[in-house]
Amino acid sequence: MGQFQYPTPPLAIYPEDVIAHHRSYIARRRKLRPSEEYRDLTPDEWNEFITHFELRKVALGVCTRDYGTPCVHEHACVRCPALRPDPDQRDRLEEITANLQARIEEAQARGCRGEVAGLEATLAAAQGKLKTMRELLQRHGPTHLGMPNFGPSAGRRM
């Protein structure tokens, strides 16, 4: 009869192990990269980095285009998929939507069908972003749990 062997216990992963492995991985990767990439930033580079993020703030929210890239959509943020709408700007976007509707009616009355098509595309995009703003507000709004009823536990009847 062979001797009983206890099964090997599973390895415990502690946060320190994970951190140590991550650090050694980063150190190994850094040795493979040119050291020039790990120098300190110059004040001009840091300033340019900060300025890029300041320029992302637009009237209806935040522009999410890639770092270091210019706006390729001619700042037509209402129609742009790179705009992350800010729910606090809902009133502003509702005003823009009402204005677009008035301009569509005017263009229709003047028979400018090309203008109508462009404005309708912008209106559809604006309505889509309004919907997103409402959804964001609902998601981050307060959750009403109702009033707690301590009557039964206090021995009271309703």
* Smallest separation, CB 156 to ligand SF4 (Å): 58
Q: Which stretch binds ligand SF4 (CB under 6 A): 16-24, 74-82, 89-97, 121-129?
A: 74-82
The nearer residue to ligand SF4, 56 or 90, going by C-beta atoms, is 56
Q: Which contiguous run of DSSP H or E holds residue 84?
A: strand 83-85
Q: Is 122 in the site for ligand SF4 (CB under 6 A)?
A: no
* Smallest separation, CB 125 to ligand SF4 (Å): 11
Positions in 76-115 near ligand SF4 (CB under 6 A): 76-77, 80, 82-83
φ and ψ at residue 71, rounded to 5 degrees: -75, 120
Q: Which contiguous run of DSSP H or E holds residue 61?
A: strand 61-63
Show the site string, 9-38: x = touches ligand SF4 by CB under 6 A, - = not. ------------------------------
Q: Which spans in 35-112 are helix H?
A: 43-54, 90-109
Helix (H, G, I), strand (E, B) or coil at 124: helix
Q: Is 63 in the site for ligand SF4 (CB under 6 A)?
A: yes
Of the residues 21, 52, 75, 110, which one makes contact with ligand SF4 according to CB under 6 A: 75
The nearer residue to ligand SF4, 79 or 90, going by C-beta atoms, is 79
Radius of gyration of the chain (CA): 29
* Smallest separation, CB 84 to ligand SF4 (Å): 8
Strand order across the 83-85 sheet: 57-58, 61-63, 83-85
DSSP label at 73?
S
Q: Is 126 in the site for ligand SF4 (CB under 6 A)?
A: no
DSSP label at 70?
-
Report the greatest alpha carbon distance in the chain: 100
> Using CB under 6 A as the criterion, which residues of the chain lie in contact with ligand SF4 when the complex forms?
58, 63, 65, 71, 73, 75-77, 80, 82-83
